[in-house]
Chains A and B, each alone.
Chain A
Amino acid sequence: MAISVESLSVSRGGINLLEGLDIELNSGQAGILRGPNGVGKTTLLRALAGLQPVETGKIQYSIDDVCYSGHADGVKPTLTVRENLEFWADIFGHHSISEAAEQFMISDFLDLKVGTLSAGQKRRVGLSRLGLTGRSVWLLDEPTVSLDQTSVSIFENIIKDHLLKNGCALIATHIDLGLEDSAKIINLSKYQPQSGKLSRSDEAFV
């Protein structure tokens, strides 16, 4: 099993968002998180990525397999696409960026500064980091924002490819990714707490 979550509760800003959440994903399987804005998709993904503590519950997985990709791309506008990718490749101990660049169709503008790219191109650069990490569990937060239809379908294929290689992905998204038939759909609104009671608040500067 790639990732398993048992009766998990997470909170943000002192308010409980999700309670009693169970997720089980096997290698080669994708999970799609659904739910209205503010239901706790981002909070859940950040908790799974280890960026934020969980209130109660158990998460079973190896944190070293996890690759998180959030709303922000984490690319530097004053560096070229190549420099950005090479940096992440170095950090994750890989050395070739050409494969990932080809996969995400950004080979044509490798030597342009990221600051001159369009939002969609920038997003593709940010997502291509996934191919550089060599990690098997992808946690993706709205990965298709500002991508055009062609890029979305390219991205679909990349995810399918990743699943075929025994990877696993948990994706928060509002659009149809074409994975819905095989993927596990997790509707987070079912796990909202009955009362919106305040949990203990120890967050910084709240």
Chain B
Amino acid sequence: MIALIFRDLRIAIRVGGGFGLSLAFFFIIVIFFPFAIGPNLELLSKVAPGTLWIGALLACLLSLERIFALDFEDGTLDLLATSPLPLEGVVMAKALVHWLTTGLPLVFISPFLGILLGLQNISVLFLVMSLLLGTPALSIIGTFGAALTAGMKRGGLLLSLLVLPLYIPTLIFGAEAARRGIEGFEIQSSILLLLGVTLLSWAILPFAAASVLRINLR
């Protein structure tokens, strides 16, 4: 499993691997918001958590198709399925690599974008925390969606339509935790719920994704 993680990380940072694309997309979306809303700092800081969360969600979506499509096309997935590595492990490795190359970089640049949208020092911290806890859920749910559409050529749009509704709980609790923190309310309940969504999806979805892959490989 570790071998698979390192191989996929290596592919991601090579030419054409797509590392950084989602990050740039996230950056651009968030920067466009002030253009659309206008330079009202008070308003901007109010919509900042929601903006950053939606941006993270869309950026995450952009890179989902690659998770299995390439391995499906060149036969790697067939070979992995017949290897000693269980498919559940393959799914978890893929989701982890997706998070390391997409979710984690988003978390790192979010404080700068938060400041850009007028958030104050301590508020940025709540935003970073909610993203840090929520983006792993986006990766594993997205990996499940990618497994569903693995056999399809150009299944990107269908993948987005399938995955977006599944992102709703993460979005609600994540953005809520950030907003409540910024406005000075207690955040324990929404943080716990967000963490619950993340842990539950990591516990269940590898099995679901692996069985879907087995069907798609037939």
Contacts and interface: CB of A to CB of B under 8 A. Distances in A.
B76 A74 contact: yes
B17 A79 contact: no
A79 B7 contact: yes
A52 B4 CA distance: 24
A91 B10 contact: no
Contacts of A49: 78, 82
Nearest to B71: A74
Nearest to B216: A204
A86 B7 CA distance: 10
B74 A73 contact: yes
Nearest to B215: A204
A67 interface: yes
Contact of B79 (A50, A74, A90): A74
A76 B11 contact: yes
A78 B14 contact: yes
A70 B217 CA distance: 13
A91 B80 contact: yes
Interface string B88-117: 000000000000000000000000000000
A83 B7 contact: yes
B16 interface: yes
Interface residues of B, number: 28
A120 interface: no
Contacts of A205: 151-152
Contacts of A66: 82
Contact of A129 (B10, B73, B79, B218): B79
A87 B75 contact: no
B85 interface: yes
A144 to B, nearest CB: 16
B11 to A, nearest CB: 6
Given A72-B78, A205-B151, A64 B84 contact: yes
A104 interface: no
B168 interface: no
Contacts of A64: 84
A53 B218 contact: yes
Given A73-B75, A203-B218, A50 B82 contact: yes
A79 B80 CA distance: 17
Contacts of B78: 46, 49, 51, 68, 70, 72, 74
Q: Could you say which of A69, A74, A83 has the most chain B C-beta atoms within 10 Å of its C-beta?
A: A74
Interface of A: 46, 49-53, 64, 66-76, 78-79, 83, 86-88, 90-93, 129, 203-205
Report the 10 A-B pairs with minimum CB-CB distance, sorted nearest first.
A72-B75, A90-B3, A78-B14, A74-B76, A74-B75, A74-B79, A52-B218, A68-B82, A87-B7, A204-B215
